[in-house]
Amino acid sequence: MQFEKDGNALVCRFNGETLRIEAWGKDSLRVRSTMLGKFTGNDWALTETPEKTEPTVRVETVDQQPLATIVNGRIKAVVNFVGIISFYKDEKLFLREYFRMYGGTISRESRCLKIVNREWKGIIGGTEYSLNVKFEPNPDEKIFGMGQYQQNCMDMKGCVLELAQRNSQISVPFAVSSLGYGFLWNNPAVGRVTFGKNYTEWIANATREMDYYVTVADTPKAILANYTAATGHADMFPEDLMGLWQCKLRYRTQDEVLTVARQYQKEGIKIDQIVIDFFHWTVQGDWKFDKKYWPDPKAMVDELHSMGIKVIVSVWPSVDRKSENFYPMMERGLLMRTERGAAQTYDYQGDCVQIDPFNPETRKYVWEVCKKNYYDYGIDAFWLDNSEPDLGVYDFDHYRYSAGPAMAVSNLYPQMYSRTFYDEMKKEGKPVVNLLRCAWAGSQKYGNVVWSGDVPSTFEAFADQLQCGLNMGLAGIPWWTTDIGGFMTDDVNDPDFRQLLIRWYQFAVYSAVLRMHGDRGPYDIPPLDDRDWGGGYLHTGQPNELWSYGEDNYRIMRKYYDIRIGMHDYIKKLYEEAHENGSPLIRAMFYEFPEDPKCWELQDQYMFGEKYLVAPILHLNQFEREVYLPAGTWRLTSNGEQYTGGQTVKVAAPIEYMPVFEKC
């Protein structure tokens, strides 16, 4: 092993590998290695200029073997003579690479299994490698963050996670450890992470370099502050979008949109934004209104604006062969490519290929079309649906982008797709708030409200969304939301569904974005025409406005709407925190109470900021529940009763009320 100091970085060379460890902001280190002789220069999620620090780099000989150390504030990395990296916080070991090869200097490394800490395997015929990086386990550790996975585990210790984007699965590879460190796998390759009992293993299926970032702090809040300082902060969220967003699958005409908006105005309910969903267009990839059903979009937008309502319209990244844009984009190389067989990547309601947003020419082309056909009419924002992208088959080795094989870069797709719009809209000098179904590390800085995807309308799925939202926040994505009531509903008249809807709505009031949406059955509404294309042929769901579910439910939702509006100044403060230090709006209990061991065990209650403890009702016909109260004095908002913290209490939860405690 050869060590050298390169400015404020430590560089190590061994057996064809170049390893570089450097200070990257406060109490943080960035670690890269490559087998290709030089680094790519890609910063991926680490886009922000790191805070200047004064690290120390030392190379010495210990027991006749070379040893190198880099210290940056409270974090230290030590590299031994065979390249094993050990990380220390305040001189206490918290992470070490796994190595089971003969000849090590530490007894448990001296094995004959021939398992190395960083395993590179060249992909035959290409310049990429598969990469496997292993770390020793910490048996008592809890791991949170990592984005959104549809499961009932909030603590990721013991979990195997696919590092890939799918509808309702969002890979944001930043982990927060209960041991006081954060770890970013700064690599957009498709792969896998295993937080095992015997070892932790990160795998990139195709990559040119290893790249990760480690930061240390005493609390999750401080860890997230370090991380978002390196990857970017969310913009300040506009005050006029902090109320109710109205949406359904799907408003089919501009008259339907205006009728709903006028009724809300008549009811005295201010909606901040109304959403125009998919298949308002002619065919996928035309990115324009079907004039038969949307004859005067500008007049529609003008009337909505006069009511104080902003307008957001759905744009998909799929381009049908029948689209007027398909062949111009195909000829110019602006679409995804397949490695074999037919050029098709998506087959829902058409024969489609997705755009390639890694290509700046693609981003320019799509924006110019959408600006002409939407933005210039006054459309305020874009619902960038299918932003994973959704694929006919998730065979990532079958696809390729201008930036390289999908296996190497595709986790970055949703971020590049969002930048197609964000980068241009930002030039207008107005706040940019677009709605996406997927994200990656650093997406918080590109105006992304991320929702949890097309999830079922079940209490089980509802419970999963809670841990999804908490972990998304811990992965640095504070603008997160769900489809209230879930997306897929068979029968809106089912009393069980209506109970679920109310419980989900109550939860959504105490979340970042309050948004009505869903595909509401039964599908007995006839299409507008018998064409097999255009804005009239596809089905629509049942009504999904607040008054659509009976007078009793309307009364409850109206009451909670008033609660939301009454919290406006408080919610604004939470968005300011997200902008300043990366704090999410919905927070795991340990985020606010890291010193309380019980709070590290809870995933069915959360803090909405620092003030409100929220206990959602996650089961059918549940009308009371237990709630753990950390130390302090707490007031139950339903009746004003006060409780002393440090105990678990049982409280009533009639359908009209979700237990919420205010910290006194």
DSSP for 533-595, please give it: SSTTSS------SGGGG-HHHHHHHHHHHHHHHHTHHHHHHHHHHHHHH---SEE-HHHH-TT
Mean pLDDT of 434-441: 98
Q: Which of 211, 286, 390, 454 is catalytic?
A: 454
The strand pairing partners of 116, in sequence order, are none
> Where residue 107 falls among pLDDT bands split at 50, 70, 90?
very low
Q: Taking 90 as the threshold, does the pLDDT of residue 109 lie above it?
A: no
Q: What percentage of the chain carries pLDDT values higher than 70?
A: 98
Domains and CATH numbers, the chain: 2-216 (2.60.40.1760), 239-572 (3.20.20.80), 586-663 (2.60.40.1180)
Which tens digits make up the pLDDT trace of 369-388? 999 999 999 999 999 999 99
Which tens digits make up the pLDDT trace of 4-31? 999 989 999 999 999 999 999 999 999 9
For residue 652, the surrounding DSSP H or E stretch is strand 647-652
Which tens digits make up the pLDDT trace of 113-141? 888 999 999 999 888 999 999 999 998 99
Q: Taking 90 as the threshold, does the pLDDT of residue 85 lie above it?
A: yes
Tokens for 91?
């001189």
Q: Is 219 left (phi over 0), alpha (psi -120 to 50) or beta?
A: beta
Model pLDDT, residue 110:
54
Q: Is 397 a catalytic residue?
A: no
Specify the long-range contacts of residues 51-59, CB closer than 8 Å, at least 24 apart. Answer: 51/25, 51/26, 51/229, 53/8, 53/23, 53/25, 53/26, 54/8, 55/8, 55/22, 55/23, 57/5, 57/8, 57/9, 57/10, 59/3, 59/4, 59/5, 59/10
Tokens for 16?
């064809």
Q: Taking 50 as the threshold, does the pLDDT of residue 182 lie above it?
A: yes
Q: Is 490 a catalytic residue?
A: no
Report, in this order, helix, strand and coil percent for the chain, each rounded to 5: 25, 30, 45
Q: Which of 388, 483, 519, 604 is catalytic?
A: 388
Which tens digits make up the pLDDT trace of 308-338? 999 999 999 999 999 999 999 999 999 999 9
- Contact status, residue 256 vs residue 215, Cβ threshold 8 Å: no
- Contact status, residue 201 vs residue 132, Cβ threshold 8 Å: yes
Model pLDDT, residue 287:
98
Q: What is the mean pLDDT of the chain?
A: 96
Q: Which of 385, 390, 464, 545 is catalytic?
A: 385
Model pLDDT, residue 125:
87
Q: What is the Cα 549 distance to its own chain's centre? A: 31
Which tens digits make up the pLDDT trace of 564-582? 999 999 999 999 999 999 9
> Where residue 413 falls among pLDDT bands split at 50, 70, 90?
very high
> Where residue 104 falls among pLDDT bands split at 50, 70, 90?
very low
> Where residue 102 falls among pLDDT bands split at 50, 70, 90?
low
Position 430, amino acid? K
Distance CA 102, CA 489 (A): 58
Question: Looking up tokens 């100091």, which residue turns up?
Answer: 5
Q: Is 119 a catalytic residue?
A: no
Position 588, amino acid? A
Model pLDDT, residue 103:
53
Compute the Cα dihedral for 486, 488, 491, 494 and give only its sign.
negative
Q: Taking 70 as the threshold, does the pLDDT of residue 70 lie above it?
A: yes
Model pLDDT, residue 74:
98
Q: Taking 60 as the threshold, does the pLDDT of residue 623 lie above it?
A: yes
Closest CA relative to residue 436, chosen from 487, 480, 375 = 480
Half-sphere exposure of 153 (CA within 13 A, CB side): 14
